[in-house]
Structure 1
């Protein structure tokens, strides 16, 4: 997909014809037939961004919007985000994985609990990211239920966060194994599941998901479907290839992935976002070219069957469904 050199671009929901029919966009009220559109400032974040965008005020955004991409690129030479990342890793005694675990067990947990939740205590950027992530979850649920009932279907939710996907899956009758690297996230997901899946009016309660604290590398077992949403952003491409292969080995029939798409334009915007790290420490983010993800899937005998791009103003994610070739 081609992008304009300016900071104003129209980014529609990109699909092939099959994906389009399976993914009717669900927008509130009169916006139901309106394609997703990025306004003056295209996305600077994904649902697991390195940037605390709540730190961006209207003055900063106006300054960014008024300059050219080329001029902003020159500013990047004045910063050293890699040095900041090295210091983060040293403070927690490890590499990327330890930084991610520490962040989502502490300040990151509080931030993303609000974003994934229903509280009104969020700013406009956080609310926008919540909308983008919820669209991703809606599209995944539509994709799964389009193929029939989920009753008794085994699903691995790899990187479950606060249970945004695991709980709807359980409500549809799926047998869900949900895991996350963050113990705080898993505890919140389990709490939410107990509240939302309790039996009412004499009905039989859905089967509770099995929640575990695990990173992607530690997952095992066999499932009809494996879903991994907005997690590959924490893996560089060389490690993402291995994670994709591992997740595919756990799936019998279907693997669904969402990731931040890598293009020159988005990569530059991500680097610009690193100029504004916000008050809380965040994690390193990796964008992935769709061709690289597809190559990793093909290498282990899988092919992409459906694909699409979900965007709001501050959230963008490529969504793909892969099946055995």
Structure 2
């Protein structure tokens, strides 16, 4: 969009994301993040990759005993793939998503899977409107939808709500993955998804450091169609 500024672009991207996940994208990603066999090869691969990212984050938190009794904010919670296991582990979870349909699905799954679903609170909320203070703030597979300037602003807002730990994932920008994206093997076509933005690890780390966070752990999930870099950052005083 020639001549638009960063704010306009961010607003456009946000509208696209909201509309997509409240319409055609909802059923598609509901299947991917579920257990149904009604998925194609690409969707099944993405399901596997996404679950590996979830498992990595859960392992980090459980190894540190963070889940029991801690407050965790899951931003961009989708259908509850992370929020529900966190609640099962004893955390007090505050989960939000820009998509009303995604939140509705997450609530339905929580009612089915949790004996005490009061341990997790779901809300339809823009990630830039996150308020309050939490021990840990997590934002997985969300920054891919936004250009760098908006991603940096989001990191700043999320950092303000994190008392100790901030965990993010993003689509890494490397020469190989940029090439794969161009030839159509990185993400599904534009008719099936939102805009996909890649970010360099240097830029994301710089944004975290600017907010007083230091990288503690990092991991890479790589399948044929799913690539996600995960960073765990802690406040400098806890590093």
- Runs of 4+ aligned structure 1 residues displaced above 3 Å come to 274-281
- For residues 299-318 of structure 1, what are the structure 2 equivalents within 5 Å? 299-318=210-229
- In structure 2, what is the equivalent of residue 323 of structure 1? 234
Provide structure 1 residue ranges, at least 5 long, that are not aligned to the other structure: 1-81, 87-93, 199-204
Higher relative contact order structure (alpha carbons within 8 Å, sequence separation ≥ 6): 1
- In structure 1, what is the equivalent of residue 142 of structure 2? 231
CA contact (8 A) 1:193 1:208 kept: no
Measure how far apart 1:192 and its partner are: 0.3
Which one of 155, 161, 166 corresponds to residue 250 of structure 1? 161
Structure with greater proportional strand content? 2
- For residues 258-269 of structure 1, what are the structure 2 equivalents within 5 Å? 258-269=169-180
- In structure 2, what is the equivalent of residue 96 of structure 1? 13
CA contact (8 A) 1:260 1:316 kept: yes
Instruction: Tell me the matched-pair count.
Output: 229
- In structure 2, what is the equivalent of residue 193 of structure 1? 110
Measure how far apart 1:274 and its partner are: 8.7
Q: Alignment RMSD, CA only?
A: 2.0
- In structure 2, what is the equivalent of residue 109 of structure 1? 26
Which one of 74, 77, 97 corresponds to residue 157 of structure 1? 74
Measure how far apart 1:271 and its partner are: 2.3
- In structure 2, what is the equivalent of residue 8 of structure 1? none
- In structure 2, what is the equivalent of residue 221 of structure 1? 132
Deviations 1:155-181 (A, max 9, x none): 000000000000000000100000000
Name which one, 1 or 2, has greater alpha-carbon Rg.
1
Residues 313 and 300 from structure 1, CA distance in 2 versus in 1: closer, same or farther, beyond 3 angstroms?
same
Residues 175 and 95 from structure 1, CA distance in 2 versus in 1: closer, same or farther, beyond 3 angstroms?
same
- In structure 2, what is the equivalent of residue 33 of structure 1? none
- For residues 1-325 of structure 1, what are the structure 2 equivalents within 5 Å? 95-148=12-65, 150-198=67-115, 205=116, 207-273=118-184, 278=189, 280-325=191-236
Residues 240 and 193 from structure 1, CA distance in 2 versus in 1: closer, same or farther, beyond 3 angstroms?
same
